[in-house]
């Protein structure tokens, strides 16, 4: 029926003023109408195809982890250690803090080994990742376009460095809606630990030009998870309920018109006393917002209360309730997944290793390695991994060249870095793409950020090319106007 509505709308929209001049032959008309019908299929609601997963958990390693010390082993770079970096690579290329400095090769600062049946190669900083190697699809050939943190985050999250565009979590919730009726569809948690945690702006989970209800809601991982979620002292839930009811009643009056004109006409307006009649969608939405807020008052504390988790589970993650750690956030992510949150993004800030890379990798990996494994394993044990897409990665990688802000480290690098995906529909145990022998350029099966976005949308049942919103006269898409491709090779 909605299809028919869409058609009548469409006909109304333009035909109304213009149709008097229709003088096409009736045969031509029916042929054209058939085409109209075909085009109508384009309007059919999401998903475009059968979704492979229900949700995304995005482990965002903020600051830019080194691919050369995680998933991309480079023996040649080891041999070149201390030598000048060949200028053929670096000439005319974007560079961040190493501007104007002598560029020398920095060999890998850690060993690598093969894991599992798949023989995936993973560094010794990430032994827990080794345990789940057969579940991961490691992409070694990522590229991005922005070399400084803020624009690079913006690019990774919104597909462009221009501010004001929606983030992927907002796009996805806008397209698919939330499965949870008492929690937001897009939740952000952050933790920190490592070198000089760089700031992260709420633009990264902004709804941009999409309706603001689709923006990510940051939950605090310590203290009150959401501001004002608790009642003030002396106010009970029953009182709160009465308050929300009173507001609803006031809003309902507005919804039917404040002057009490009998409403026999509007959408679903009955006009009878005592029956809520929402002929104003804005007010209906507002009433819903209050209801959700009220529900969140109990659902959020319930979500954050880890007392029902067994000690075994807590130990598995390495989580101490209320510590705000990445481990606790991973456990919360699982709980949100269970409750239907569509897009869960966990930022860990501390991966900006311009110097003392070994020390800080130990800290960052120490804080995130086991929890990431625990999350994947926990989901798997609960039969949820197959309906979840997990993504791990930062906003860029790090240079094969040495930087020494207090011990060897590496600068920002955008021509090559590693990420991994796991979960529903992902070819596990696969290493995809490759960089050159220095780890400077992605050279084989290069994966652009846009391709990653297209693939995420695809797994959720969305065709990125048909998923657009009119903005500034353009059909704006998460993947933009440049070509983006779904990485079918990494999908099972």
Partner 1 sequence: MKFLMAVRGFFLLLVLLTLTARNAAASDQIDFNRDVRPILSDKCFFCHGPDDKQRESNFRLDQAVQDRTKIADLLRRVTSTNPDEQMPPPKSGKHLAVAEISTLQRWIEQGAKWATHWAYVAPLKHDLPKVADTSWPANWIDRFVLARLERDGVKPAPDADRITLIRRLSFDLRGLPPSLQEVESTDLEQFVDQFLASDAFGERMAVWWLDLVRYADTVGYHGDQEHHISPYRDWVIDAFIDNLPFDQFTQAQLAGDLLPESSTDDKIASGYNRLLQTSHEGGVQAKEYLAMYAADRVRNLSGVWFGGTVGCAQCHNHKFDPYTAKDFYSLAAFFADLDEAAHLKKGSDASPTVRAPELRVLTKRERVRAEKMSAEERAAFEKSARLTMISSAIEPREMRILPRGNWLDDSGPIVTPAVPEFLGRLDTGDRRANRLDLARWLTDSKNGVGLLTARIMVNRFWALMFGEGLCRSLEDFGAQGQPPDHSELLDRLTHEFVDSGWNVRHILKLIAMSRTYRQASSNSEFGGRNSEIRSSVPHSEFRIPKSLRQSRFRLPAEFIRDNALAISGLLVHEVGGPSVRPYQPAGYYKYLNFPKRDYVADNDQRAVSPRSWRPERTAVSASGILQVPQFSEAGLRRRQGLEAVASRRVRALAAAIPASDVQGVRCPASRGMHGPATTLEHAAGRAGVAQRPHIRRSRASLRRPHPERGWRHRRIPHRLRLPSRHLANPRRH
Among 50, 265, 310, 383, binds partner 1 (CB under 8 A): 265
**Considering the complex, what minimum distance in angstroms separates the CB of residue 83 from partner 1?**
24
CB 144 within 8 A of CB 396: yes
Q: Quick one: tokens of 236?
A: 């009970």
Residues in the chain: 492
DSSP 8-state code for residue 147: -
Which of 144, 149, 79 lies closest to 108, judged by CA?
A: 79
> How far is Cα 492 from Cα 421, in angstroms, rounded to an integer?
12
- Chain positions 426 to 455 lying near partner 1, rule: CB under 8 A, are none
**Considering the complex, what minimum distance in angstroms separates the CB of residue 46 from partner 1?**
16
Does 8 bind partner 1 (CB under 8 A)? Our answer is yes
Residue number with CB closer to partner 1 (260 or 381): 260
Does 6 bind partner 1 (CB under 8 A)? Our answer is no
Q: For residue 62, give Cα distances in angstroms to 5, 192, 203, 303, 317.
A: 45, 9, 14, 25, 20
**Considering the complex, what minimum distance in angstroms separates the CB of residue 344 from partner 1?**
16
Does 79 bind partner 1 (CB under 8 A)? Our answer is no
- Chain positions 350 to 409 lying near partner 1, rule: CB under 8 A, are none
> How far is Cα 121 from Cα 134, in angstroms, rounded to an integer?
11
Binding segment toward partner 1, per CB under 8 A, in 64-72, 303-311, 423-431, 468-476: 468-476
Does 215 bind partner 1 (CB under 8 A)? Our answer is yes
Strand 469-471 relative to strand 474-476: parallel, antiparallel, unpaired?
antiparallel
Does 257 bind partner 1 (CB under 8 A)? Our answer is yes
Does 298 bind partner 1 (CB under 8 A)? Our answer is no
**Considering the complex, what minimum distance in angstroms separates the CB of residue 131 from partner 1?**
31
**Considering the complex, what minimum distance in angstroms separates the CB of residue 466 from partner 1?**
7
Among 70, 123, 160, 190, binds partner 1 (CB under 8 A): 190
Which residues are within 8 A (CB) of 314 and not within 5 positions of it... i.e. 6 or more apart? 306, 320, 321, 331
- Chain positions 110 to 169 lying near partner 1, rule: CB under 8 A, are 147-151, 161-164
Question: Read out DSSP for 405-452?
Answer: SSSSEEEEE-S-EEEEEEETTB-TTEEE-EE-TTS-SEEES-EEHHHH
- Chain positions 329 to 348 lying near partner 1, rule: CB under 8 A, are 347
Among 2, 18, 307, 310, binds partner 1 (CB under 8 A): 18
């Amino acid at each position: 029926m909605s299809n028919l509505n869409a058609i009548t709308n469409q006909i109304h929209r333009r035909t109304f003023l213009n149709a008097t001049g229709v003088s096409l032959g009736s045969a031509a008309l029916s042929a054209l109408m058939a085409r109209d019908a075909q085009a109508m299929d384009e309007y059919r609601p999401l998903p475009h195809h059968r979704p492979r997963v229900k949700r995304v958990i995005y482990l965002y390693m903020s600051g830019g982890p080194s691919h050369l010390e995680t998933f991309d082993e480079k023996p040649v770079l080891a041999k070149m250690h201390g030598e000048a970096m060949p200028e053929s690579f670096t000439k005319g290329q974007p560079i961040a803090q190493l501007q104007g400095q002598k560029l020398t090769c920095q060999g890998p600062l850690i060993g690598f080994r093969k894991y599992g049946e798949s023989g995936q190669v993973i560094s010794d900083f990430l032994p827990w990742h080794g345990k789940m190697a057969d579940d991961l699809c490691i992409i070694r050939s990522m590229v991005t376009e922005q070399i400084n943190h803020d624009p690079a985050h913006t690019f990774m999250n919104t597909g462009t460095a221009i501010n004001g565009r929606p983030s992927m979590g907002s796009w996805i919730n806008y397209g698919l809606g939330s499965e949870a009726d008492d929690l937001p569809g897009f939740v952000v948690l952050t933790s920190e630990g490592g070198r000089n945690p760089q700031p992260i702006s709420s633009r990264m989970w902004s709804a941009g030009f999409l309706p603001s209800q689709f923006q990510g809601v940051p939950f605090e991982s310590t203290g009150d998870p959401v501001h004002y979620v608790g009642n003030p002292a002396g106010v009970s839930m029953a009182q709160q309920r009465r308050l929300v009811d009173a507001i609803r009643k006031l809003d309902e009056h507005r919804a039917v018109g404040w002057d009490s004109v009998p409403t026999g006409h509007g959408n679903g307006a009955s006009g009878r006393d005592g029956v809520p009649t929402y002929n104003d969608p804005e007010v209906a939405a507002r009433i819903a917002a209050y209801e959700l807020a009220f529900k969140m008052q109990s659902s959020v504390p319930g979500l954050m209360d880890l007392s029902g988790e067994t000690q075994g589970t807590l130990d598995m993650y390495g989580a101490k309730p209320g510590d705000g750690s990445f481990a606790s956030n991973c456990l919360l992510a699982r709980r949100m997944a269970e409750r239907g949150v569509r897009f869960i993004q966990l930022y860990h800030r501390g991966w900006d290793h311009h110097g003392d890379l070994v020390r800080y990798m130990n800290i960052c990996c120490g804080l995130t390695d086991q929890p990431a494994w625990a999350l994947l394993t926990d989901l798997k044990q609960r039969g949820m991994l197959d309906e979840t897409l997990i993504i791990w990665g930062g906003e860029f990688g790090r240079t094969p060249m040495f930087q020494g802000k207090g011990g060897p480290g590496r600068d920002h690098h955008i021509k090559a870095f590693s990420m991994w995906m796991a979960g529903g529909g992902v070819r596990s145990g696969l290493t995809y793409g490759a960089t050159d022998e220095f780890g400077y350029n992605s050279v084989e099966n290069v994966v652009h950020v846009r391709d990653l976005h297209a693939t995420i949308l695809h797994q959720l049942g969305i065709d990125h090319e048909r998923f657009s919103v009119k903005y500034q006269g353009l059909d704006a898409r998460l993947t933009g106007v440049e070509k983006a491709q779904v990485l079918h090779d990494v999908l099972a």
